[in-house]
Amino acid sequence: MSQPDAALISHVRKAVIPAAGRGTRLRPATRLLPKELLPIGNTPMIHRAVLELVRGGIDQIVLIISPAKASVWDYFAEIAEGLNCELELLIQPEPTGTANAIALAEPFLQGEPFVIFMPDEVCFCNRSPIAQLCEAYLHYRQPVLALTWLAPEWAPYFKGTGRINLELLQDLTYRITQLLDKTMDPFPVSRSGSFKGVGIGVVGPEFLQLLHQLKPEPGPQKEYDDIVIWQHLTQTQQLLGSAVDGIIFDAGQPQGFAAANRWWLEFCQQEDYVRLPD
């Protein structure tokens, strides 16, 4: 079957959720339960990711898990009828990183643009960030990364991933001119606040081509990180950022997990309470 011309596609309908990682930042809790099933409010964070994708118009999602995370798939098997999307499963035999996980999804994607959604990114946004990112991608036909604004009082709950330099294009859209390496240091913010890049983006099939061409080197734990691809896109002036209407927490580390639950308790527990059928 021939693949579609990505330049002619008028909407984004597919997403990849890489969820085969070890969850080391949240140990010892993740020794018993996969990180993705830890709750924000009353809802596991990976369920929140699926709901956010569906809210943004995505109707085909591939979930990539490790053999040790069968409980994640079991969870979705019980609620599949109420998801309003097609959910497929891929197994990543070894936790060899996000880049490898995304590459595994290539047959599912069939040359179409797609959303990458890291399941520990927890969104509290008025407008759908997925719809906003897809709109920006379809307008500019360039990869787009979600940006969240950090006020100084919330900065201590974030670590030093997603440090970026930006140039404003128009309204809420920026060109990302630099994406710095990940650190575990506190996220630096200015006195008035700063933007942070998060692990949610929309890309085209070119992203997969770069995965094959650049072949990221494995890290200390033999994981292939996709940050090399994102950094290459900044170096070639091809990566955009879209500022979301709300806040996105990295709940994959203890401070972010606590902050996301605190936000839920303080601001949105009633309207955000997910009820499943009996």
- Give the CA distances from residue 165 to residues 92, 118, 134, 147, 192, in Å, rounded to whole numbers and listed in that order: 33, 22, 22, 11, 16
**Under DSSP, is residue 39 helix (H, G, I), strand (E, B) or coil?**
strand
Whole-model pTM? 0.89
The separation between CA 153 and the C-alpha centre of its own chain, rounded to angstroms, equals 24
- Supply 163's token pair: 């440090």
Say whether pLDDT at 54 is over 90. Answer: yes
Say whether pLDDT at 100 is over 50. Answer: yes
Q: Look at residue 278 in the predicted model and tell me its pLDDT.
A: 42
Compute the distance between CA of residue 268 and CA of residue 276 in angstroms, rounded to an integer: 18
* Residue 171 φ/ψ, nearest 5 degrees: 50, -115
Q: Look at residue 160 in the predicted model and tell me its pLDDT.
A: 65
Confidence of residue 51 (pLDDT cuts 50, 70, 90): very high
Asked whether 251 and 121 are in contact (CB, 8 A), the reply is: yes
Say whether pLDDT at 32 is over 90. Answer: no
The mean of the pLDDT values for the chain is 85
**Under DSSP, is residue 252 helix (H, G, I), strand (E, B) or coil?**
coil
The separation between CA 226 and the C-alpha centre of its own chain, rounded to angstroms, equals 12
Asked whether 222 and 96 are in contact (CB, 8 A), the reply is: yes
DSSP count for the chain of H helices, then E strands: 8, 13
Q: Look at residue 1 in the predicted model and tell me its pLDDT.
A: 44
Q: Look at residue 219 in the predicted model and tell me its pLDDT.
A: 54
Largest CA distance in the chain: 54
Asked whether 146 and 170 are in contact (CB, 8 A), the reply is: no
- Write out pLDDT tens, residues 59-96: 999 999 988 888 989 999 888 778 889 999 999 988 78
The whole-number average pLDDT for the span 236-240 is 90
- Write out pLDDT tens, residues 175-232: 999 888 776 666 767 777 889 899 999 999 999 999 888 865 655 554 567 888 899 9
